[in-house]
Amino acid sequence: MKIFSYNVNGIRAAMKKGFIEWLKISSPDVLCLQEIKAMKDQIDVSSIEKLGYYHYWFSAEKKGYSGVAILSKKNPLNVSYGSGIDHMDLEGRIIRLDFEKLSIMSLYLPSGTNINRLQYKFKFMDEFRGYIDDLKLKYSNLVICGDYNICHQAIDIHDPVRNKTVSGFLPEERDWLNSFINSGFVDSFRFMNPRPNHYTWWSYRANARKNNKGWRIDYALVSESLKKNILKSFILSEVFHSDHCPVGLELKF
């Protein structure tokens, strides 16, 4: 099963840059999207349906902001829109598809762009952890893909020293992600790829992507129970529809 995750920074903008052509060629079984920045009725879903995908969208209440989606070649047994926690769901940050052998979530964790949003980010992280701890009691095989807006370790950011006081690499954020992973998940990319200089997001400024001055903030975390099923985990840094690039995971059952 080939699972991709991609913060597209606006699905309509990505479509104008060749997203559909890329989707046709890459052909994942499941594609988790974040930051779609659109309502479903604003999206040309016919081009997605022509490729054989079921599609499920969970937009933010605020137009042009946030939002997540999942495309799947297989019809899921169940679709869960949101977490049931109002403040999370107003921003369209969680959607989940349940299949026979696993459940796949698309997550868009908030960024801490200012002090108010940083405080909200910590609130979200705390309540999200509780939500997942409860969810694990019902669904033991979870894949949580998405933009976590946190670099886990120094190896995951191009300049750990200068960025140590910047949201996304704060000690408190990193401690949370470390604790979250250690609660029963595997960072599939690091499990398969211990090497440095692999990132998933680059600033549009100062030729950051060209110079590979990036951050690895997009993950495909899998339950420990699925560790034995990990065949491949990779970053598609050559894909250019967004300031992020897709991450990929292949599971063998």
pLDDT tens by residue, 59-93:
999 999 999 999 999 999 999 999 999 999 999 99
Q: In what order do the strands lie in the sheet with 185-187?
A: 78-81, 94-98, 103-108, 142-147, 218-223, 185-187
- Tell me whether strands 201-202 and 214-215 are parallel, antiparallel or unpaired: antiparallel
Whole-prediction pTM value?
Answer: 0.98
CATH number of the CATH domain containing 8: 3.60.10.10
Quote the domain boundaries for residue 88.
Answer: 2-251
Q: What is the mean pLDDT of residues 6-14?
A: 98
Catalytic site positions: 147
How many domains are contained in the chain?
1
Confidence of residue 52 (pLDDT cuts 50, 70, 90): very high
Give the pLDDT of residue 65.
97
What is the rounded (10 degree) CA torsion for 121, 115, 244, 157? -90
Q: How far is residue 180's CA from residue 223's CA, in Å, rounded to a whole number?
A: 11
pLDDT tens sequence across 195-212: 999 999 999 999 999 999
Q: What is the mean pLDDT of the chain?
A: 98
For residue 115, give the H/E element and its range.
helix 115-136
Give the pLDDT of residue 214.
98
- Tell me whether strands 2-7 and 30-34 are parallel, antiparallel or unpaired: parallel
The shares of helix, strand and coil residues in the chain, as percent rounded to the nearest 5, are 30, 25, 45
pLDDT tens sequence across 121-161: 999 999 999 999 999 999 999 999 999 999 999 999 999 99
What distance lies between CA 23 and its chain's CA centroid? 17
Q: How far is residue 212's CA from residue 108's CA, in Å, rounded to a whole number?
A: 23
Ranges of H-type helices in 71-114: 86-89
